[in-house]
């Protein structure tokens, strides 16, 4: 039996996971979004720019996804390292230079800077925590997406036991 998505695959063979998301524009800058068979959700825009302020903006959703992605990677890596983590709180803040969206040449329309504060509750020793931080930064998909796109990325780690 073939089972392509296991940890025993040779490191030289790509292990591709496929993702899908659908959107239906509903007018006034709102889009209804569906992923698999989960309840639909939406993105919208503030009234100031012509939306109905009924949902987070698309880039706010990306920023929230970054928080969720960091948490799941921290949980996964902690298990691998035998580190116990009791709680994780995350807060991401980003700036976007909206001139890019308006079409000003040479200005990126996406994140200029992303700063995330990660509060861990853990009794792990400093060496373990350093390994946890290092692996998380190397392996988190959303964090690497933002960083590879050229945004200035700052992580502030705060650990309490």
Q: Which of residues 1-20 bind a second copy (CB under 8 A)?
A: 5, 7, 9, 11, 14-20
What is the CB neighbour count within 10 angstroms for residue 26?
A: 13
Residue 96 interacting with a second copy (CB under 8 A):
yes
Sites for a second copy among residues 102-131 (CB under 8 A): 102-104, 107-112
Token pair belonging to 64: 């929230």
Report the first-to-last Cα separation within the chain, whole angstroms: 45
Instruction: Say how many residues touch a second copy, by CB under 8 A.
Output: 89
Sites for a second copy among residues 130-149 (CB under 8 A): 135, 138-142, 144-146, 148-149
Residues in contact with 110: Cβ distance below 8 Å, sequence separation at least 6, in sequence order: 59, 96, 100, 149, 151
| Phi/psi of residue 6, nearest 5 degrees | -130, 165
Consecutive H or E run containing 34:
strand 30-34
* Least Å from the CB of residue 126 to a second copy: 21
Say how far apart CA 34 and CA 108 lie, in whole Å: 28
- Using the contact rule CB under 8 A, the part of the chain among 97-105, 123-131, 153-161 near a second copy is 97-105
Residue 88 interacting with a second copy (CB under 8 A):
yes
Residue 159 interacting with a second copy (CB under 8 A):
no
- Using the contact rule CB under 8 A, the part of the chain among 81-89, 122-130, 153-161 near a second copy is 81-89
Say how far apart CA 125 and CA 128 lie, in whole Å: 5
Sites for a second copy among residues 60-79 (CB under 8 A): 60-76
* Least Å from the CB of residue 151 to a second copy: 8
């Amino acid at each position: 039996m073939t089972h392509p998505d296991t940890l025993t695959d040779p490191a030289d063979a790509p292990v591709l996971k496929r993702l899908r998301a659908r959107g239906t524009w509903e007018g006034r800058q709102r889009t209804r979004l569906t992923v698999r068979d989960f309840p639909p959700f939406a993105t919208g825009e503030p009234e100031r720019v012509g939306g109905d302020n009924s949902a987070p903006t698309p880039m706010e959703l990306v920023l929230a996804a970054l928080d969720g992605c960091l948490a799941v990677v921290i949980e996964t890596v902690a298990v691998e390292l035998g580190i116990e983590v009791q709680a994780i709180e995350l807060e991401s803040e980003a700036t976007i230079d909206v001139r890019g969206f308006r079409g000003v040449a040479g200005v990126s329309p996406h994140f200029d800077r992303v700063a995330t504060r990660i509060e861990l509750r853990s009794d792990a020793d400093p060496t373990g925590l350093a390994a946890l931080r290092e692996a998380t930064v190397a392996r988190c998909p959303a964090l690497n997406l933002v960083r590879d796109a050229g945004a200035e990325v700052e992580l502030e780690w705060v650990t309490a036991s």
